[in-house]
Amino acid sequence: MQEMLREVLELQLDFSSENTPAMERRGQLVRNMMPEELRRWRAVTGSAVLPFKGRLNVQGKDGTGRKTFVPWIRVHSPELSPSAQKGWYVVFLFHANGDGVSLCVSHGSTSFNGRDFVPRSDEEVAELMSWARGLLGKQAGLLGFREGVDLGSNFGLSGPYERTTAFSKFYPVEILPGDEQLQKDLEQAVGLLGQLYHAIELGRAPEAVAPDIQEAQLQLEAIASPRRSNSRGGQGFGLSAAQRKVVEDQAMHLAKGWLKANGYDDIQDVSATQSCDFTASRGGVEHVVEVKGTTAGFGTILLTANEVELHRVNNPHNVLIVVHSIDLLEMRTQAAGGIVTAIEGWEVDKAELRPLSYCCNL
């Protein structure tokens, strides 16, 4: 791998946007030979110890049609980063001037507006980088990764790549590390990537969807449009039924504690038979209590039509309890923690209700 990296950097000095013999050779290395080698490395194989479930792929690009100044080879989840424009991935970025290559933890630098790929807004990029660096900055620093990347050029996509790189490690062409060190560094970078993927899985990333919302969307699509759903294949991510159960149990436990601490008595778990989770009394008045548990942050919950009607009919004697930011421990088989937010006398019609599907009477 070391020798192939060095050869690509030497070929950078003969860059042409046309498919010259030098660029043809660069393309063979970047698109085929180096990805094939990386797929054999432990960081990418199924034996890799990753804090998320799923598989990794390797993809190399040096330009479609006209050649690019900055060729790259990325390690990514096909589900969470199906293209280089979307999601997080680990990527080798070759500097345009051939002075070295950077191993980066990066996010897609452009987004599709329906017609063209355009750079992500400054606000979106700032939120993504702040989140990733806040989550992993200390650990990345201990592993020898710096924040951001300097590709030493303003050519092509160098600027956008720099904007959307959270961490990087630079290898000068004069002192490229051997394969043993490269493999170790790649494993560490993939470990950082895995933690980002795990946070996305739990719904804690800026652009992540809460697991229960994502699961509902997928199931509704499968029912309403089975051919389209099957053609997309499984996501491979999200919480399993067992994991959802331990999250729900933790939410119910904390919600019951909140009810007791706030003056409710005669607390009955009716989740198996009614459209709410608890009934509880305070001041001799019975209240219906809805409990929502999620590994994601506070903000979006899933309600059935029956639950919406329940809150409409019982207001103001109704309580919504959201237990968010629940953690999954012990190989994600046990739930712990969680932050309780309770809304008494919740007026459901003042909330932003967004349909996930429609029942259409023709």
Per-residue pLDDT band at 50 (split at 50, 70, 90): low
Structure tokens at 147: 């924040």
Quote the pLDDT of residue 189: 96
Q: Is the pLDDT of residue 125 over 90?
A: yes
Q: Is residue 316 reached through a cis peptide bond, with omega within 30 degrees of 0 on the bond before it? A: yes
Closest CA to 59 of 89, 86, 79: 89
- Residue appearing with tokens 């933890």: 105
pLDDT at 234: 42
Gyration radius (Cα) of the chain, Å: 25
Spell out the alpha helix ranges (H) of 143-178: 158-163
> Alpha-carbon distance 340 to 280, whole Å?
17
21-25, 50-54, 104-108, 213-217: lowest mean pLDDT where?
Answer: 50-54
CA distance 204 to 190: 19
- Tell me the per-residue pLDDT of 69-103, one tens digit each, with 9 for 90 and over: 899 999 999 888 989 988 999 999 999 999 999 99
pLDDT at 130: 97
The rounded distance, in Å, linking the Cα atoms of 138 and 142 is 6
What pLDDT is stored for residue 62 in this prediction? 93
Would you say residue 148 has pLDDT above 50? yes
319 falls in which pLDDT band (50, 70, 90)? very high
d(CA 201, CA 59): 23
Question: Does pLDDT of 262 surpass 60?
Answer: yes
pLDDT score for 236: 45
Domains by residue range for the chain, with CATH: 2-201 (3.30.920), 241-350 (3.40.1350)
Number of H-type helices and E-type strands within the chain:
10, 15
pLDDT at 229 over 60: no
Share of the chain above pLDDT 90, in %: 63
User: What's the whole-number average pLDDT of the chain?
Assistant: 88
Cα distances (angstroms) measured from residue 322 to each of 201, 245, 301: 19, 16, 8
| Three-state secondary structure call for residue 290 | strand
- Backbone torsions φ then ψ of 41, nearest 5 degrees: -80, 150
Name residues whose C-beta falls within 8 Å of residue 130's C-beta, 6 or more positions apart in sequence: none
Where do the DSSP E strands lie in 159-284? 165-172, 265-269, 278-282
Measured N-to-C along each axis, helices 21-28 and 2-12 cross at an angle, to the nearest 10 degrees, of 150
- Res 116: pLDDT: 73
Output the pLDDT for position 177: 96
Q: What average pLDDT does this structure show over 211-231? A: 70
Residue with tokens 């042409």: 16
Average pLDDT over residues 269-281: 94
Q: What is the pLDDT of residue 214?
A: 74
- pLDDT attached to residue 227: 63
Give the span between the Cα atoms of 350 and 333, in whole angstroms. 36
- pLDDT tens string 159-212: 888 999 999 999 999 999 999 999 999 999 999 999 998 888 888 888 777 777
What would the pLDDT profile of 276-294 be if each residue is shown by its tens digit?
999 999 999 999 999 999 9
Q: Which residue has the tokens 């980066």?
A: 104
146 is written with which tokens? 């710096």
The DSSP H or E segment spanning 9 is helix 2-12
